[in-house]
Amino acid sequence: MPGTTQFFTPPSSFTASSIPISAHGTTITYADGSQCLDGISGLWNVPLGYGHQGVADAVHQALLEASYLTCFRSTHRWAERASDALLKAAGPGRYGRTIHATSGSAALDSTMKVVRQIQILRDEPNRRVIVSLKGSYHGTTLGAMSLTGEDLGQKMYGIDTRMIRHVDHHRPRDLERLLDREGDRIAAVVLEPVQGSGTHVVGEQFLAAVFEGRRRHGYLIVADEVATGFGRTGPLFASQAWAEDPDILVTSKGLTNGTQAASAILLSHTVTQTLDETDSPFMHGETQAGSPASCAAILATLRAFEEEDILGHGRLVAAHLDARIRAVVERVPGASSTGTGCFRSIRLPGNSDIPGIVSRCRAHGAVVQPGPSSIQLVPALVYTPSALDHLMDRVEDTIASLKDSHGTVAA
């Protein structure tokens, strides 16, 4: 029995066989000598591919120059440079300050504190309710898990959801009804531009209702871009394509190309101004947040995106991926697809064995991820056309060869 707890896996299913021993580019090598093309970018967090030299060199140099410095009651050169670069990359004039954290979940916990603090500072102490979406995933720490709109055992862990409301983004009228009832109590609406579970795009009609609600009721809008940031859907951040900017943007995953435990919260100028005018400290601290190594990785990742035109390359990968997904959908009766850019799912008939399909893809040399009645594809933005074809050939052939209890899944 392996000594490491494997997340989201019962102990009876823990495995120590065929574990990864190395990863380069878009290929993972396992202990048994087999290799797989990675179709999900690690845990959606390696947009530049494994072993990016610029990121590795930057982290190495930072560790030699300052193995540790803190953002607790202080700051340092690496943190300031990383913050400035992030604010610039997110779009001139959109955001005014950065809060460094260590994970997407920790950043969402911190954000819940920020939005409630801001409402108190604006003399709105009753605004403590936070709205998120049904089917959403925001993380597994206590706060983030309360925001999450899918069942992850919240009752078992005693997660407090009394100040959380979940609405269906396919039904804008549900949000409007909630605002009619509780608009004066809502501190913020938190949403993923594309929901991580199933890669469902939040539509313009729902976003319009969210923006109108902000004007009428004064809550904050939080874009959870832990997954959608760093070119995953096309632009650097998906919310850059929204009709209006969020008040707070949360990013992680691709932030350091998966090399460091890091996340960041970008605060709009209006949120920053509220904190500054009241001279209100943010009562939060994480020992490793904004460490020199993580900040060096942020800087190197942003530099790679600019110098290597990663967003442009990602658009080519997305177009190629879309064509291959359409071919699979046409071949499989009852199949469909969701998502956008390089954040996609292939939805299969309801009686399909999703865990079995994922396992068989792995056996055939392709790493994919299970989703709700679907397999998810979240490839690195640096895939070559030939490598992406190899990946999708294995995925398509696996799906086409499977049978369910009612006969063949594929035509």
Q: Are 238 and 228 in contact (CB under 8 A)?
A: yes
Those residues whose C-beta lies under 8 Å from the C-beta of residue 390, and which sit 6 or more positions away, are 37
Q: Are 186 and 118 in contact (CB under 8 A)?
A: no
Q: Are 55 and 297 in contact (CB under 8 A)?
A: yes
Distance CA 44, CA 233 (A): 12
pLDDT > 90: percent of the chain: 91
Q: Are 26 and 13 in contact (CB under 8 A)?
A: no
Distance CA 119, CA 97 (A): 18
Tell me the pLDDT tens digit for each residue of 69-122: 999 999 999 999 999 999 999 998 899 999 999 999 999 999 999 999 999 999
Tell me the pLDDT tens digit for each residue of 248-276: 999 999 999 999 999 999 999 999 999 99
The pLDDT value given to residue 140: 96
Q: Are 302 and 85 in contact (CB under 8 A)?
A: yes
Query: What HEC string does the chain produce?
Result: CCCCCCCCCCHHHCCCCCCEEEEEECEEEECCCCEEEECCHHHHCCCCCECCHHHHHHHHHHHHHCCCCCCCCCCCHHHHHHHHHHHHHCCCCCEEEEEEECCHHHHHHHHHHHHHHHHHHCCCCCCCEEEEECCCCCCCCHHHHHHCCCCCCCCCCCCCCCCEEEECCCCHHHHHHHHHHHHHHEEEEEECCEECCCCEECCHHHHHHHHHHHHHHCCEEEEEECCCCCCCCCCCCHHHHCCCCCCEEEECHHHHCCCCCCEEEEEEHHHHHHHHHCCCCCCCCCCCCCCHHHHHHHHHHHHHHHHCCHHHHHHHHHHHHHHHHHHHHHHCCCCEEEEECCEEEEECCCCCCHHHHHHHHHHCCEECEEECCEEEECCCCCCCHHHHHHHHHHHHHHHHHCEECCEECCC
Q: Are 317 and 381 in contact (CB under 8 A)?
A: yes
Distance CA 58, CA 295 (A): 9
Q: How confident is the model at residue 307 (pLDDT cuts 50, 70, 90)?
A: very high
The pLDDT value given to residue 405: 37
The pLDDT value given to residue 1: 66
The pLDDT value given to residue 235: 98
Residue given tokens 């089917």 in the structure block:
135
Q: Would you say the pTM of this structure is higher than 0.75?
A: yes
Those residues whose C-beta lies under 8 Å from the C-beta of residue 95, and which sit 6 or more positions away, are 87, 249, 266, 267, 268, 269, 272
121 token code pair? 């500072």
Give me the domains of the chain, ranges plus CATH numbers: 11-52+309-408 (3.90.1150.10), 53-307 (3.40.640.10)
172 token code pair? 């804008």
Check whether 411 has a pLDDT greater than 60: no
State the average pLDDT over residues 7-20: 84
State the average pLDDT over residues 386-394: 98
Check whether 191 has a pLDDT greater than 90: yes
State the average pLDDT over residues 331-351: 94
Distance CA 148, CA 156 (A): 15
Buried b (16+ CB within 10 A) or exposed e, 41-80: bbebbbbbbbebebbeebbeebeeebeebbbeeeebebbe
Q: Are 47 and 310 in contact (CB under 8 A)?
A: yes
Q: Are 380 and 27 in contact (CB under 8 A)?
A: no
Pairing of strands 343-347, 336-340: antiparallel
Q: Are 209 and 154 in contact (CB under 8 A)?
A: no
Check whether 410 has a pLDDT greater than 90: no
Q: Is 151 exposed, middle or buried (0-12, 13-18, 19+ CB in 10 A)?
A: exposed
Q: How confident is the model at residue 352 (pLDDT cuts 50, 70, 90)?
A: confident
Distance CA 82, CA 164 (A): 32
- Of 5-9, 370-374, 406-410, the least confident: 406-410
Distance CA 257, CA 77 (A): 21
